[in-house]
Amino acid sequence: MATMQVELVSPEKILFSGEATQVITRTLGGGEIAFLPGHAPFLGALTECHTRITLVEGRVLDVAVHGGFVQVSGNTVSILSDIAELGEDVDRNRALRARDVAEELLRREHDAEAVSALSRAHARLSASGGITGTSQGAH
């Protein structure tokens, strides 16, 4: 099976580096996009999203990516992100609380800050197991 090299880099460290068979992420305004081995050279700006990296052994690595860039060249997918966290590292309770706070705020007024907070929370939740759930000790 063909594989490709995937690198997930944040400014402070390399979050993930290894072989994979598929990467799904979401570009700014372009919707979701999947990369398979041998993809044509590609450059894209990413939005807050739940990125899925299918590893060689079939396991899927879930990552919450909060904006960044993706570069595909020479069978290597590099994802650059200021803030990215692996699904298993996400603090679900915190994300749920953040979602509730943002939704509460949006019910009253439209606020760009809250919109991005909400999409960050969604990306985190989605990467860590699912969008649904209730927070504990939210209020």
Partner 1 sequence: MAGGQERILRGRIRSVQATKKITRAMELIAASRFVKAQQRVAAAVPYSDTITEVVKDLAAAGGSSQSPLLTSRQEVKSTAYVVIAADRGLCGGYNSGVQRAAEGSVKADVLDGKSYSLITVGRKAEGYFKFRGYNIAAAYGGFSDSPTYAHAREIGQDVVARYLAGEFDRVELVYTRFISAGSQEVVRRPLVPLDHETVEGGDGKGPDSAGTPSDYEFEPDPGTILDTLLPRYVEARIYAALLNAAAAEHAFRQRAMKSATDNAEELIKNLSRIMNRARQDSITTEIMEIVSGAEALSGGSKNVQMIDLGPITDLASN
Q: Kindly list the residues in this chain that would bind partner 1 in the complex (CB under 8 A).
A: 7, 9-14, 27-30, 33, 40-45, 69, 71, 73, 78, 80, 82
Which residues have a Cβ under 8 Å from the Cβ of 54 and sit 6 or more positions away? 20, 21, 22, 23, 60, 61
Max CA-CA distance within the chain?
52
Name the minimum Å distance from CB 14 to partner 1: 6
Nearer to partner 1, 32 or 111 (CB): 32
- Which residue's entry shows tokens 């899927």? 60
Reading the block at residue 137, the tokens are 């000790």
Q: Which is nearer to partner 1, 12 or 109 (CB)?
A: 12
In the bound complex, what is the minimum distance in angstroms from residue 33's beta carbon to partner 1? 7
Whole-number minimum distance, CB 17 to partner 1, in Å?
8
Q: Compute the distance between CA of residue 125 and CA of residue 94 in angstroms, rounded to an integer.
A: 10
The residue (of 96 and 123) whose beta carbon lies closer to partner 1 is 123
Min CB(134)–partner 1 separation in Å: 30
Nearer to partner 1, 82 or 104 (CB): 82
Convert 22-33 to b/e letters by CB count within 10 Å (16 or more is b). Answer: bbebbbeeeeeb
**Closest by CA position to 32, among listed 123, 117, 121, 99:** 123
